[in-house]
Amino acid sequence: METGSVGGGPPDTANETKERSESTVSDGTRPNARKRTVQHKFDHTELYHQVSCESSLGCLEDRYEIFREVGRGQFASVLIAKDKHFEDRFVAIKKISKNGFMMRAATNFMEEAEIMKKLDHPNICRLHETYDSNKTLYIVMEYLEGGEVFERMEEEDGCVDERTCSHIIGQTASAIAFAHKRNISHRDLKPENICFVSRDPDDHTVKVIDWGLAFHLQGAAKMSSSVGTSTYAAPEVLDADEKSVYEKECDLWSLGVVTYVMLSGMPPFSGTHNSQMRKMKWERYDLKRGPWAKISSDAKHFIKGLLKSRPRQRMPIDRVLEHNWLASASFMKAAPPEIGREVFANLKHFRQTSALYSVCAAAVARHLDHSCLEDIHKVFVGLDENKDGVLTIDEIKRGFETFGEVADLGELKETFALLDLDGNGSIDYTEFCAAGIGDFVAQQDHALWAAFKVFDVDDDDGYITREEFEQVINKLDTRQEWNPEVRQEWDHLFAQHGKISFHEWRKMVRSHALGNIPLDECSPFISKADAAEKENVSEDSGRQIYASLHKFHKLQTRGSLLAQDASSCCAGGVMGSVCVVL
């Protein structure tokens, strides 16, 4: 499986009684994996219409130039594509046919997209948009150029050094913990589904991909399908049938197997299916011979805590995150202190921005990728003491104290409440980035365009109407939903023309970023004469704005988010009619 690629099959639906007609468990061999087939009932028509109603209607080829196919599964192919409108910008695209039998697979992949929308975490691959034509479904995702952990293992004699392994497993565990708290189980965790964000061999930042077999446990829905890759699947998953169910602990077993394979280059259980099942249930695997002589006792204790045949005996995910083996490893180099100070100064400034700008900033930040967010990513991870992928008010408070931007309790609570756009009591990754990145948000034309297209949903005509904005804002998972302040600001924007163009949108966002200028003190609109003139001045003006706004520019370091300009952020922008993923 290739970077950003689809797994062994399509995802399960929200109810096991509506699963696809064939669920498979592959044995993990490459490239031609053997599969064991389990029969299920599946009512695909009703569910397909439910999930496809939010898909984009634009033409994918209008935005992206397909470079090549990099992977193919049973139900989908994976493509690498270049954004036609921005230099050096790439995305990964899953392509699923909706003809005949494949319609059921398309339905399941839309379930995958719905799950990915709920997973806003620094170590989970981002969904950008979906395109839905009569014959084909496309899922556009972040392109992770570093490739799979599996590929890196092959390049390094089949295994990974212990320090690097603990770094990777720590990030993966954080992603799984985040999903589990939202009652989502991945069900296909393996080195092929963990990807490096960068080709830099010293950058070990990874993201979990391929949520195609993920399951959202909600209501009466239960997991009972035998899915995934047999080398990494838990015994209760391999033994599953329609009469038995299993829980999220199946991911903990898989995490233990991934750790074992990364450290030794060999699976812990081998042989025939029956022989493998016996060894798994008796927990018989080698931790003494070969490479294990040089592996620490903490690493072995970590593996033993996860490879328990009884799910309830496995180390809980919160204890996984606290384990000595992960705690003793530095997850990444800390962000420079001056970056931290600037981020927290931006957080304080965010309190003064309008509700409309906060919504727009979140939309922009959602479409920036790792190359743009590298330093703020380090700040976020450094603050996230329990590694659960969100920040509490206490973690934000310690951040203010660490970086010298001391806030009194009232100011702190007010800042926290404004940062918590969805009102869930914690600061999610995108919320933190939207506020902490400050003026840099306004400089990313590709992300501004992506955010603009979030609202241009009805006819993809290059304008946002009042009706389109209200339609989208009511779907956003945020407390700012069409409140009086947002309505007043937006009414002002529509007062003259009834709709706004991208140029007007960009001017509004940049005006706010410049210094929180009230909308009644600047006009985002241009006359026809101005429109004819704008192209002549945009390049020089853009350079001047970039220079004046980019406070971090003088702080550039190798790998800094500020070393990236608007043209160098791979696979961040999403074009065409956009499925809302804030």
3-state per-residue secondary structure call for 286-309: CCCCHHHHHCCHHHHHHHHHHCCC
Is residue 286 among the annotated active site residues?
no
SS3 7: coil
SS3 373: helix
Q: How far apart are CA 538 and CA 544, in angstroms?
A: 10
Give the mean pLDDT of 365-393: 86
Model confidence band, residue 422 (pLDDT cutoffs 50, 70, 90): confident
Q: How far apart are CA 361 and CA 339, in angstroms?
A: 19
Residue the block writes with tokens 């400034």: 349
Give the mean pLDDT of 319-345: 83
SS3 36: strand
* Range of lowest pLDDT (227-241, 272-286, 383-397, 480-494): 480-494
Residue 182: what residue type? R
Start-to-end C-alpha separation, the chain = 28
Question: DSSP class of residue 439?
Answer: G
Q: How far apart are CA 66 and CA 83, in angstroms?
A: 9
Residue 270: what residue type? S
pLDDT at position 45 is 29
Provide CATH 3.30.200.20 ranges for the chain: 44-142
Cβ neighbours of residue 324 closer than 8 Å, sequence gap 6 or more: 298, 301
SS3 6: coil
Model confidence band, residue 317 (pLDDT cutoffs 50, 70, 90): very high
Among candidate residues 83, 132, 188, 420, the one labeled active-site is: 188
Q: Selecting from 1.10.238.10, 1.20.1730.10, 2.30.140.10, 1.10.357.10, what CATH number does the domain 337-521 have?
A: 1.10.238.10
Provide CATH 1.10.238.10 ranges for the chain: 337-521
Q: How far apart are CA 540 and CA 322, in angstroms?
A: 51
Q: How far apart are CA 355 and CA 497, in angstroms?
A: 22
Of 156, 154, 158, 152, the residue nearest 199 (C-alpha): 152
SS3 312: helix
Of 565, 525, 367, 531, the residue nearest 455 (C-alpha): 367
Provide CATH 1.10.510.10 ranges for the chain: 147-220+227-328
pLDDT in tens, 50-91: 222 334 546 788 888 998 998 887 778 899 999 887 677 788
Q: Is 181 annotated as a binding residue?
A: no
Instruction: Classify domain 44-142 by CATH number.
Output: 3.30.200.20
CATH architecture classification, 147-220+227-328: Orthogonal Bundle (1.10)
Pairing of strands 22-26, 228-229: parallel
Best mean pLDDT range from 132-136, 487-491, 570-574: 132-136
pLDDT at 540 over 80: no
pLDDT at position 73 is 76
Residue the block writes with tokens 């050096």: 88
